[in-house]
Structure 1
Amino acid sequence: MTRILVALVSLWFAHPAWAETSPLQAMMTGNDSKGWEGVGRLNIGGEVMCTGSLISETLVLTAAHCLFKPGTGERYADSSIEFLAGWRGGRASAYRSVRRSLVNPKYDFHGADTTRRVSHDIAILELDQPIRKSSVTPFEIGERPRKGAEVGVVSYAKDRAERPSIQETCKVLARQRGALVLNCDVDRGSSGSPVFVLEAGEVRIVSVVSAKAHAGDLPVSLATGLQDAIDGMLAEIATTDGMFTHVQAKPLPQVVKREGGAAGSAKFVRPDG
C-alpha cells in the first residue's frame, strides 16, 4: 500500500469527529466472521497480499494497483492470483483462481497526480469458477458517501494476514476530486478492502481502500471514487463473452441520525447470515 502525504485544507484536525471511530477488531471465530465471508484475501504472484470482496458469484472487487508489480509496474499474470474467501486461521470458505481481470481504463499506475490515481484505483477480477455457497454472500454496490458520513471497513493487513479485521465506524473526512479521505485504520495488505455503509439494514460497498497516508501528523486512508467507474467497467466486461454478471448500483443510503450525534451518523453492524 502506497504511503503518501496528503494536503487537506478542510480536514477537521481539532474536531471531535476525528475521534468518532470504533476500534479495529479481529474476527477470531466463525461467529465473528458470519456474514463477512464474501471478503477475502488475495494472494498475488506469490509476492503481494491485498484484500478483495465478492460483488457477484464470479466477480471480486479490489484495488487496481494490487495487480502491478511495485518495482516495474508490470502486470501480474491473472493466473497467479488466488482469492481466499473468508480466510481465517489457515482456512478459507472458498478457494478460487482468477480467470481474467479488468483494470479501470482511467487508472494510471505511473501517474504523478496522486489524487487522480487514487480516485481511479479499481479492478474487477473474474474467478475461474463461481462461488455458490450459502455462507459466502456477494455484496451489492451503493453510491459514494457524503463528507461526514460513517462507514466501516473489513480488511486484512501485513500484521493480521491470517484473519480479517473489522472497523465498524470511521468517518469520511473529505472528498477530493473523486477520492475519499477517511480516518479508517488500514495498513499494507488492506489495499482493495471494501468500504461499507449501512442501508436499509444491509451493508453495501461504496468504495475501495487505495492507500495509507498522512495529513499533517494524522494518519488517514484514501479510497476510490467507486461509483463513477463501476457501471462502465461492468458493462465493458459483460460484452466480452457474457461471463460477467452485472451488478446494479443502489440508491444513496438513507442515513439515520443519532440523538445529539453528528449529521450523517449511522450504526454500522455485521449483516445477518
Structure 2
Amino acid sequence: MRLIAILSVVVGLGLPVQADESRLRSLETGDAGRGWDAVGKLMLGDRGFCTGTLIRPDVVLTAGHCLFDKETGARIDAGVIEFLAGWRNGRAVAYRHVRRAVVHPDYVFSAEDPAERVAHDVAVLELDQPIRLPSVAPFRIEAAPLGGGQVGVVSYAQGRSEAPSLQEICSVLGRMPGTLVLSCSVDFGASGAPVFTMQDGAPSVVSVVSAKAEMDGKPISLASDIGTPLRDILAELDAGGGQLRRAETGVRVIAGGGGGAKFLRPGAP
C-alpha cells in the first residue's frame, strides 16, 4: 500500500487538532455507494493499491508516489496499472487499464523532506478506453477551502480494501505551501483518495490524499493542493507527454445504476 507515514511533520504550526468530526462509513452496497462510482481502486500490478478518481471520462487523478516502487524508487510501468471504478465486494462497475501516466515534473520520490514531497504529489492516468456510464460521471475540480473549512474523503485502505469508505465531515486544520493539513482519517492504500467539498449540492474534488501524519500525538492527514499542479500535468498529458503504454488491452464493463453523489449525514440510512 502506497501511503507515506510521516510523524510530527507539522509540529510547531500551532494548529488545534480536534477529533474526527465523523466516522468512516462503508459504501459496501450499491445503494450506499450510489453516486461515488467514479472513485475506484487503483491496482498497481503486484505492488499494492491506491485510490483514484475519474475527473474526465478517460482520466484518473491520484497521488504521484503511487506510481513509484517503494522498494527501488523506480517508476511502475503504466501497463500494469488497472483502474477498478466503484470496486466493492469483488466486483467493479468498470475495469480499465492505463495507457499513459503523468507525474508532476517537480515531484521527487526520493526527496528527503516529506512535507516538500506532498506539495507536488499529484499524477494523472489516461485510460485505454473512456468510461461512459451514467453511474460513473467524472467529478469536477474546485479550489480548496481555507483553514477551518469542511471536507470529506472517499478511500480504499488497509483493512477496508474491498469497498470504499466515506468520511463525510473532517476539517482543513491549516495549510503549508502546496499542502492541506486535514483532520481526516486515512491509512495505507488511501493515497490518491479524493478530498471533496460540496459545491451547489454536489461534491467537487479539491485535493488528493498524500500522507498520514501525526501532530500533538493525534493522527492527521496531508493532502496536495491540486490547483496549479493539476493544471500543469493535464497540460502535459494533452500535449502527449508522460509515460506511454501502447499495448492493446481488453475492457470489461458491468453496468451500474445512476444517481447523483451526495455526502451522507452521520446516522443516515
User: Which of 1, 4, 17 is 1:2 aligned to?
Assistant: 4
> Which has the higher mean CA deviation after the structures are superposed, 159-168 or 225-234?
225-234
Helix, strand or coil at the partner of 2:73: coil
Deviations 1:125-184 (A, max 9, x none): 000001011111100000121100000000000100000000000000010111011010
Aligned-partner Cα distance in 1 for 2:130–2:20:
39
Q: What is the TM-score of this pair, normalised by structure 1?
A: 0.85
The answer to whether the 8 Å contact 1:119/1:179 transfers is: yes
Residue in 1 that maps onto 2:226 = 226
Q: Which AA in structure 2 matches 1:11?
A: L
Residue in 2 that maps onto 1:262 = none
Residue in 1 that maps onto 2:16 = 12
Q: Which AA in structure 1 matches 2:131?
A: I
Aligned-partner Cα distance in 1 for 2:41–2:56:
16
The answer to whether the 8 Å contact 2:86/2:94 transfers is: yes
The answer to whether the 8 Å contact 2:148/2:173 transfers is: yes
Quote the offset at 1:20 in angstroms.
Answer: 5.6
Deviations 1:40-87 (A, max 9, x none): 001102221100000010000000001000011001100000000000
- 1:14-163 alignment, distance < 5 Å: 18-19=18-19, 21-163=21-163
Aligned residues: 240
The RMSD of aligned alpha carbons is 1.2
Helix, strand or coil at the partner of 2:233: helix
Residue in 1 that maps onto 2:198 = 198
Q: Which AA in structure 2 matches 1:22?
A: S
Aligned-partner Cα distance in 1 for 2:224–2:86:
23
Structure with more of its chain in helix, by fraction:
1
Percent identity between matched residues is 50
Helix, strand or coil at the partner of 2:139: coil
Helix, strand or coil at the partner of 1:131: coil
The answer to whether the 8 Å contact 2:57/2:131 transfers is: yes
Aligned-partner Cα distance in 2 for 1:111–1:22:
33
Q: What is the TM-score of this pair, normalised by structure 2?
A: 0.87
Q: Return the structure number with greater relative CO, CA threshold 8 A, min gap 6.
A: 2
Aligned-partner Cα distance in 1 for 2:239–2:122:
19
Q: Which AA in structure 1 matches 2:181?
A: V
Helix, strand or coil at the partner of 1:235: helix
Kindly report structure 1 stretches of 4+ aligned residues shifted beyond 3 Å. Answer: none
Runs of 5+ unmatched residues, structure 1: 242-267
Helix, strand or coil at the partner of 1:84: strand
Deviations 1:1-52 (A, max 9, x none): 1111222422114xxxx13611100012101000000000011022211000
The answer to whether the 8 Å contact 2:102/2:236 transfers is: no
Q: Which AA in structure 1 matches 2:13?
A: V
Helix, strand or coil at the partner of 2:115: helix
Structure with more of its chain in strand, by fraction:
2
Helix, strand or coil at the partner of 1:219: strand
Q: Which AA in structure 2 matches 1:9?
A: L
